[in-house]
């Protein structure tokens, strides 16, 4: 092999070695600002609903609980359902029918706000408790003392139920009272107040409540 051929081979080898060398490292891209961390979710913090003037939601259970928050309405319905007495041998259908009947009572009261919803719930609770006391008092194996105790408790619950109905009526009337004003005749120089007897002697007239003003 000639020296020229050898030199040519060496030059080729240098080129091959240069081609196989490490590639240059590209310039680093400018660093972006770090993404701000998401706000921590606080636990055990209740959500406070907005006031009525800022709340445009339409609750589905307002006719049962009276409130604009369906969470409250559902909570109240569960309280009422738990206040009822259920026979231990009830089937699923019988229990569902009983639930429907209880919720039908709330819908019949049709509370207009949360306070009326509470009153409706207490109306059912006192009624259910009174009827349970009446039921226990009438058991065939009930003792005389047990019958007397249950009837006394039922009477108290019945009075409480009547007071709750009265409170609901007052709340719905917003405290308005009906005042009847009878006619009072006032003549020039005198006013007559009390019972007036147009006929009779002077003694009967003196017994009436007559005030003369003038």
Q: Give the closest residue to 170 by CA, choosing from 178, 159, 158, 180.
A: 178
Report yes or no on 32 lying in a domain: no
SS3 call for 129: helix
pLDDT reported for residue 147:
96
Using CA atoms, how far apart are residues 160 and 127, in angstroms rounded to an integer?
Answer: 9
d(C-alpha 88, C-alpha 90), whole Å: 6
The full 3-state SS of 164-208, as one line of letters, equals HHHHHHHHHHCCCCCCCCCCCCEECCEECCCCCCCCCCHHHHHCC
In a domain, 97, yes or no: yes
* 49 part of a folded domain: no
> Does any domain span residue 74?
yes
Task: Evaluate whether residue 66 is within a structural domain.
Answer: yes
With respect to residue 28, please indicate whether it lies within any of the assigned structural domains: no
Burial 119-134 (b: 16+ CB within 10 A, else e): bbbbbbbbbbbbebbb
Residue 44 lies in a domain: no
- What residues make up the domain containing 155? 59-173
Task: Let me know: does 214 contact 190? Beta carbons within 8 Å.
Answer: yes
Number of folded domains that form the chain = 1
If the chain, 214 residues long, is cut into consecutive pieces of 10 residues, what is the mean pLDDT of each piece?
Answer: 51 51 57 56 71 76 92 95 92 95 95 95 96 95 96 96 94 70 59 55 53 46
Question: In 3D, which of 98, 144, 105 has the Cα closest to residue 122?
Answer: 105
Question: Quick one: pLDDT at residue 102?
Answer: 96
User: Measured between alpha carbons, how far is 161 from 49 in angstroms, rounded to an integer?
Assistant: 32
pTM over 0.75: no
Residue 116: inside a domain: yes
Instruction: Check if the beta carbon of residue 128 is closer than 8 Å to that of residue 134.
Output: no
């Amino acid at each position: 092999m000639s020296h020229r051929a050898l030199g040519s081979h060496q030059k080729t080898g240098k080129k091959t070695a240069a081609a196989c060398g490490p590639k240059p490292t590209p310039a680093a891209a400018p660093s972006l600002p770090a993404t701000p961390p998401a706000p921590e979710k606080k636990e055990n913090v209740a959500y406070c609903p907005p006031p009525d003037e800022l709340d445009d939601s339409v609750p589905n259970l307002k006719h049962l609980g009276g409130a604009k928050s369906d969470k409250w309405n559902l909570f109240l319905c569960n309280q009422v359902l738990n206040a009822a007495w259920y026979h231990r041998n009830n089937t699923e259908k019988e229990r569902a029918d009983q639930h429907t009947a209880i919720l039908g009572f709330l819908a019949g009261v049709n509370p207009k706000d949360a306070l009326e919803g509470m009153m409706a719930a207490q109306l059912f609770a006192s009624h259910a408790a009174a009827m349970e006391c009446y039921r226990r008092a009438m058991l065939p194996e009930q003792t005389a003392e047990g019958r007397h105790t249950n009837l006394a408790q039922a009477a108290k619950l019945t009075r409480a139920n009547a007071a709750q109905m009265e409170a609901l009526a007052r709340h719905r009337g917003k405290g308005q009272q009906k005042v009847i004003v009878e006619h009072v005749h006032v003549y020039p120089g005198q006013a007559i107040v009390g019972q007036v007897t147009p006929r009779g002697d002077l003694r009967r007239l003196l017994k009436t409540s007559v005030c003369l003003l003038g």
